[in-house]
């Protein structure tokens, strides 16, 4: 007997022989300990062949001519560790995203199960009991939505509900309506949102709710995963990796804020949790709900064409009005500081007096994005990446937000020797400093990657906001997503221009979604809300649609351009990224790559490039990319494989393949 054994590494499965004493007990999905190189390694059995002479097992990484196969040392599980449905999902992910099956396994299962670490005592909801939240009576729109969802056992639903329309309550009721024993996965785009979502679900399901995210310790992750696998919980809530939750009787998947880019993993296995969720629902023949106030153009297009079942909710709970949106023209407005207009500062001061709360979004952390010599114009760039370093005043360092490297700022310009160095642009740290100076009575917190590195920090900040211990929450885009703070009456965007005009066909869509979502955090309680958006480009077309909460109008404008240029949803994309150690080597090899690609025939496939990536250098690697565009996903992947195979690239070139890229930088 032979067994194909898969490890959580960048490889396909390896083949081993199965000793006679293990043959009656070993099963597909079992964990086994096997010899690997000079030691032993734990892996998962993904295929068995009781008649090796039949050659029924497909060729694996461990099969070579004239090589004696090593035997499995021991079987670690009485029952299969992974179910067939999870193994099928792992196989689909590796095939679709053109990645090794081992990388898919690595993302699906906590590494501790392959290294022998022990489970830890789980905390009760981030150190404390879940805050009880009251359930409201369903509105007619919610009842209608729930009735439609409950009318079928499978299929895709898109709930397009304005901010504050009660989508979370529909999710909870949909899970409650599942047949006895059925389980549910709830995906959220940011770890900062999990706390409020867990509170809401635990009000209905108590300790039958567990959470998956990077804030868990290794021991906690093992415990939560085991409880899920053993079927002792009903709901898993989490970020990307929760899509692989090892439920054996799954009945429903919910993807909240389905449009968010954070569902996409940008390194290693470049999968989209939203799209994997759609695939899992199809593989397991179950229902899936996509929810958003600003759906992705792809999802809305699918709904308009009958591929998804469309549910529209255009009114807020208790008929509360959507916030008024004011676009502040920073070219004309009086400014109290570099970052803040006098109009916004006055509104914030008044909000403090009225004991209401505020949210401020600035999608750039640090103090200043440009540390520049005003005499010669020299800016400090990362020595490893082709981007400007961001000055962080709290650490007095210039940091690279791509590779993590940092430098200490010099007192004089390294280019001309003058001391005329100043800060241009603004980040969350600078706004924090300005708010402290202008409104000393203001109690507020900053929430960005710098302030949320410690465990549970997201949760603590959100709790302070919920309990009105702070007047204002300032942060990057994580403050715009999914939060429900009833006492927030002002939501503001500073430096809105940073989201506009990026060299990416999705830049307008992302800007519209971000501004609309942030505005939607205001006025969700008794008092009406107002949103302020500061910009130096007030005539940009995006603001016309944001001002009027006009998703349909934005969609119709944008979908026309997508169709004309044959971009998604009218085509599929694959991006092939070539990385080189030196710029000279890149130029030399790319010339040969370009010549060979021109000789290949690709029917119905458009090849764009190769050309330098917009961010040309990251982590000391020079980057070029090639974009393939076509309507047939299978044909597109076949072409990508053919290109990479026929180029016969050497070790001097590192290749990454990104299927369905959402960032072309």
Q: What is the pLDDT of residues 111-125, one digit of tens each?
A: 999 987 766 555 544
pLDDT category of residue 54 using cuts at 50, 70 and 90 = low
Q: Is the alpha carbon torsion for 421, 425, 428, 434 positive or negative?
A: positive
Q: Over range 533-555, report the average pLDDT.
A: 96
Architecture field, domain 320-368+425-560: 3-Layer(aba) Sandwich (3.40)
Q: In the CATH hierarchy, which fold is given to the domain comprising 2-115?
A: GIY-YIG endonuclease (3.40.1440)
Q: Judge whether 213 and 182 are in contact, CB under 8 Å.
A: no
Angstrom distance (rounded) from CA 436 to CA 429 = 11
Predicted confidence at residue 67, as pLDDT, reads 64
How much is the pLDDT for 121?
59
Q: Domain 140-317, CATH 3.40.50.300 — does that match?
A: yes
Question: For position 370, what pLDDT does the model report?
Answer: 73
Q: Render pLDDT for 243-294 as a digit per residue (tens, 0 to 9).
A: 999 999 999 999 999 999 999 999 899 999 999 999 999 999 999 999 999 9
If you average pLDDT over residues 162-179, what whole number do you get? 95
Q: pLDDT averaged over the chain?
A: 90
Q: Domain spans of the chain?
A: 2-115, 140-317, 320-368+425-560, 572-659
What pLDDT score does 58 carry?
Answer: 52
Mean pLDDT of the region 50-78: 70
- Three-state SS at 607: strand
Among 271, 228, 236, which Cα is nearest to 255's? 236
Name the class of domain 572-659.
Answer: alpha beta
- The pLDDT score that the predictor gives to residue 452 is 84
DSSP string spanning 87-155? HHHHHHHHHHTT--HHHHHHHHS-THHHHTPPP-PPPSTTTSPPPP-PPPPPPHHHHHHHHHHHT-SSE
Domains 320-368+425-560 and 572-659 share a fold: no
| 125-136 average pLDDT score | 50
The candidate with the shortest Cα–Cα distance to 2, out of 41, 73, 57, is 57
Residue 651 has pLDDT above 80, yes or no: no
Q: What is the DSSP string of 302-368?
A: HHHTTSSEEEEE-S-GGGPPPPEEEEEETTTS-BSSSS-BHHHHHHHHHHHHTT-EEEEE-S--SSB
Least trusted range by pLDDT, from 304-313, 407-416, 644-653: 644-653
- Which tokens in the block code for residue 295? 């759906």
User: What pLDDT shows up at residue 220?
Assistant: 85
Model confidence band, residue 53 (pLDDT cutoffs 50, 70, 90): low
Which tokens go with 464?
């302070």
Listing DSSP states for 457-522 in one string gives HHHHHHHHHHTTS-SEEEESGGGSSS---TTEEEEEESSGGGGSS-SSTTHHHHHHHHHHHHHTTS
Instruction: Specify the DSSP class assigned to residue 582.
Output: S
What confidence score (pLDDT) does residue 57 get?
Answer: 54
Per-residue pLDDT, averaged over 331-358, amounts to 94
Q: How far apart are CA 517 and CA 530, in angstroms?
A: 13
- Is beta strand 309-313 parallel, antiparallel or unpaired with respect to 444-447? unpaired
End-to-end CA distance of the chain: give it in Å, rounded: 49
CA torsion 521-523-529-534 (nearest 10°) is: 0
Contact status, residue 5 vs residue 13, Cβ threshold 8 Å? yes
pLDDT category at 129 given cuts 50, 70, 90 is very low
620, 544, 551: which is closest to 579 by C-alpha?
620
The mean-pLDDT minimum among 36-40, 365-369, 575-579 falls in 365-369
Q: What is the pTM of this model?
A: 0.92
What's the pLDDT tens digit per position in 563-605? 999 999 999 999 999 999 888 888 888 888 888 887 777 778 9
SS3 category, 86 = helix
Closest to 155 in 3D by CA, of 284, 301, 286, 300 = 286
**Best CA proximity match to 73, nearest among 147, 16, 14:** 16
Contact, 246 vs 82, CB < 8 A?
yes
Lowest mean pLDDT among 199-208, 308-317, 467-476: 199-208
> Are the C-beta atoms of residues 201 and 237 closer than 8 Å to each other?
yes
Taking only the tens place, the pLDDT of each residue in 520-531 is 999 999 999 999
């Amino acid at each position: 007997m032979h067994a194909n054994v898969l490890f959580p590494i960048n490889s396909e499965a390896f083949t081993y022989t199965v000793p006679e004493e293990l043959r009656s007990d070993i099963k597909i999905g079992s964990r086994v300990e096997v010899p690997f190189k000079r030691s032993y390694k734990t892996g998962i059995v993904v295929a068995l062949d009781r008649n090796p002479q039949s050659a029924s097992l497909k060729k694996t990484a461990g099969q070579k001519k004239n090589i004696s196969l090593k035997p499995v040392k021991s079987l670690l599980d009485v029952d299969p560790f992974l179910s067939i449905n999870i193994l099928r999902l792992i196989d689909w992910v590796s095939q679709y995203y053109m990645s090794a099956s081992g990388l898919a396994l690595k993302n699906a299962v906590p590494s501790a199960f392959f290294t022998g670490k022990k489970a830890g005592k789980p905390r009760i909801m981030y150190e404390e009991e879940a805050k009880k939240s009251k359930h409201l009576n369903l509105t007619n729109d919610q009842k209608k939505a729930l009735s439609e969802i409950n009318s079928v056992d499978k299929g895709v639903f898109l709930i397009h509900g304005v901010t504050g329309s009660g989508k979370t309550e529909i999710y909870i009721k949909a899970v409650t309506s599942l047949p006895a024993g059925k389980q549910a996965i709830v995906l959220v785009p940011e770890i900062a949102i999990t706390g409020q979502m867990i509170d809401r679900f635990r009000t209905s399901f108590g300790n039958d709710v567990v959470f998956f995210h990077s804030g868990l310790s290794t021991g906690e992750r093992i415990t939560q995963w085991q409880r899920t696998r053993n079927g002792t919980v009903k709901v898993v809530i989490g970020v990307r990796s929760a899509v692989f939750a090892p439920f054996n009787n799954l009945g429903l998947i919910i993807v909240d804020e389905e449009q968010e880019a954070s569902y996409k993993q940008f390194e290693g296995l470049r999968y989209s949790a939203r799209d994997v969720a759609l695939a899992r629902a199809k593989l397991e023949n179950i229902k899936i709900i996509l929810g958003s106030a600003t759906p992705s153009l792809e999802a809305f297009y699918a709904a308009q064409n009958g591929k998804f079942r469309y549910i529209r909710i255009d009114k807020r709970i208790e008929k509360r009005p959507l916030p008024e949106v004011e676009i502040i023209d920073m070219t004309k407005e009086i400014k109290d500081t570099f970052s803040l207009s006098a109009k916004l500062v006055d509104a914030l001061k008044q909000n403090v007096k009225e004991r209401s709360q505020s949210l401020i979004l600035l999608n750039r952390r640090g103090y200043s994005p440009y540390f520049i010599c005003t005499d010669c114009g020299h800016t400090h760039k990362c020595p490893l990446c082709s981007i400007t370093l961001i000055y962080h005043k709290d650490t007095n360092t210039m940091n690279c937000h791509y590779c993590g490297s940092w430098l200490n700022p010099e007192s004089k310009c390294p280019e001309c020797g003058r001391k005329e160095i100043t800060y241009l642009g603004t980040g969350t740290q600078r706004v924090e400093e300005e708010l402290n100076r202008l409104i000393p009575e203001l109690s507020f917190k900053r929430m960005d990657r710098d302030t949320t590195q410690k465990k549970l920090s997201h949760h603590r900040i959100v709790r302070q906001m919920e309990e009105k211990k702070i007047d204002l929450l300032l942060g990057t885009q994580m403050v715009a997503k999914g939060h429900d703070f009833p006492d927030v009456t002002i939501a503001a965007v500073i430096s809105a221009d940073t989201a506009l005009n990026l060299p990416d066909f999705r830049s307008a869509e992302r800007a519209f979604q971000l501004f609309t979502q942030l505005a939607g955090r205001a006025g969700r309680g008794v008092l009406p809300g107002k949103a302020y958006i500061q910009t130096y480009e007030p005539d940009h077309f995006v603001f016309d649609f944001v001002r009027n909460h006009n998703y349909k109008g934005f969609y119709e404008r944008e979908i026309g351009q997508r169709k004309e240029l044959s971009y998604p949803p009218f085509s599929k994309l694959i991006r092939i990224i070539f990385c080189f150690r030196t710029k000279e080597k890149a130029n030399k090899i790319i010339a040969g790559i370009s010549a060979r690609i021109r000789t290949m025939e690709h029917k119905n496939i458009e090849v764009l490039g190769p050309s330098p990536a917009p961010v040309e250098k990251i982590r000391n690697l020079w980057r070029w990319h090639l974009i393939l565009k076509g309507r047939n996903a299978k044909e597109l992947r076949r072409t990508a494989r053919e290109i990479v195979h026929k180029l016969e690239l050497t070790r001097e070139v590192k290749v990454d393949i990104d299927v369905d890229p959402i960032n072309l930088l």
